[in-house]
Structure 1
Amino acid sequence: MKNKATLTLSLLASLVLAACGGGGGSNASPTAATSASSPSTASAPAANSPASTPTVTGEQLPSLSSPQAGSTAATGNRVEGIWSVTSSVNKTTAFVDPQNNLSYLSVLGTTVMQEFFGVITPGSSAWTLTSGGLFNLNIYTAATSGSGTFTGNQAFNGSYVEGSNTVNIGWTYDPANALAVTQAMVAGTWAETNSSITISSSGAVSGTLSNCPVSGTMLLATAGSNQNLYTLNVTTGTNTSCQTPNVTLSGSAAIVFLPIQSSSLYQRTILYSLHTSSNSAVAYGQVSPQ
Structure 2
Amino acid sequence: MNKNIIAHAVALLALGALSACGGGGGSGGGGGIALPLVAGATDQTPAPAPTPAPAPSPAPAPAPAPSPAPAPSSRAPVAGSEAGPSLASPQAGSTAAVGGNEGIYESMFGYTYVGADGSIARKFTVGSLFGSIAVTGLNWVFNPGTEFLFVTASPTTGSGTFTPKTSMDGTYAKGGGSPAPFGPVSYSTANALAVSQASVAGTWTASDTLGIGISLTVDPSGAFTGTTSGVQIGSCTLSGTVALSEPGTAKNMYGLTLNAVNAAASPSASDACKLETTGSYTGPSAIVFLPAGIYTSNGYFRYLSFLARTSTGATLTDALRLQP
Structure 2-normalised TM-score? Answer: 0.66
Given residue 157 of structure 2, which amino acid in structure 1 is its aligned partner?
Answer: S
- Does residue 208 of structure 1 match 2:227? yes
1:106-143 deviations in Å (ceiling 9; x for gaps): 35xxxxx33211111111111110122223xx423323
Instruction: Name the structure 2 match of 1:231.
Output: 255
Instruction: Name the structure 2 match of 1:242.
Output: 273
The answer to whether the 8 Å contact 1:179/1:227 transfers is yes
- Change in Cα spacing, 1:277 to 1:99, as seen in structure 2 (3 Å) is farther
The residue correspondences of 1:130-149 to structure 2 (distance < 5 A) are 130=143, 131-135=145-149, 138-149=150-161
Given residue 74 of structure 1, which amino acid in structure 2 is its aligned partner?
Answer: A
Q: Which structure is higher in RCO with an 8 Å CA cutoff and minimum separation 6?
A: 1
1:49 CA displacement: 4.6
1:100 CA displacement: 1.3
The answer to whether the 8 Å contact 1:258/1:269 transfers is yes
The answer to whether the 8 Å contact 1:96/1:102 transfers is yes
SS where residue 96 of structure 2 aligns?
helix
Tell me which structure has the larger Cα radius of gyration. Answer: 2
SS where residue 308 of structure 2 aligns?
strand
1:79 CA displacement: 1.5
- Change in Cα spacing, 1:205 to 1:49, as seen in structure 2 (3 Å) is same
Q: Once superposed, which parts of structure 1, at least 4 consecutive aligned residues long, lie more than 6 Å away?
A: none
1:238 CA displacement: 4.2
Take 1:219 and 1:54, find their aligned partners in 2: how far apart are those partners? 31
The answer to whether the 8 Å contact 2:110/2:123 transfers is yes
SS where residue 197 of structure 1 aligns?
strand
- Change in Cα spacing, 1:100 to 1:277, as seen in structure 2 (3 Å) is farther
Give the percent of matched residue pairs that are identical in Structure 1 and Structure 2: 35
Take 1:141 and 1:287, find their aligned partners in 2: how far apart are those partners? 27
SS where residue 127 of structure 2 aligns?
strand
- Does residue 158 of structure 1 match 2:177? no
The answer to whether the 8 Å contact 1:176/1:257 transfers is yes
- Does residue 191 of structure 1 match 2:205? yes
The answer to whether the 8 Å contact 2:105/2:187 transfers is yes
SS where residue 128 of structure 1 aligns?
strand
Unpaired runs of 5+ residues, structure 1, are 1-46, 108-112
The answer to whether the 8 Å contact 1:84/1:174 transfers is yes
- Does residue 274 of structure 1 match 2:287? no
Instruction: Name the structure 2 match of 1:79.
Output: 101
Take 1:144 and 1:286, find their aligned partners in 2: how far apart are those partners? 26
Unpaired runs of 5+ residues, structure 2, are 1-68, 208-212
More helix by share: 2
